[in-house]
Amino acid sequence: METTTITDQDRELAKRCVNCPVCRRARDKQKGVAYFFVKNIEGSFCPACQAYEKVYGRKAHKALKS
């Protein structure tokens, strides 16, 4: 299993993703334009979304509820 070091910068970027209105809507609604955008486009380019995945261990578009 590969271990990754989570830096303070990663935590700050992940916090931006948590507060991002587009990502937040994608996590809440799980459908629509915001969900499609975060799932297919933003997750590949946005450093905040990438840090969210690194810190929280889930994609930025995945629902918080199981």
What is the Cα–Cα distance from 23 to 27, expressed in whole angstroms? 6
Q: Under 8 Å CB-to-CB from 33, ≥6 apart: which residues?
A: none
What is the Cα–Cα distance from 56 to 36, expressed in whole angstroms? 20
- pLDDT tens readout for residues 12-66: 999 999 999 999 999 999 999 999 999 999 888 999 999 999 999 999 999 987 5
Say which residue the tokens 């910068």 belong to: 9
pTM of the model: 0.87
Beta carbons of 27 and 60 less than 8 angstroms apart: yes
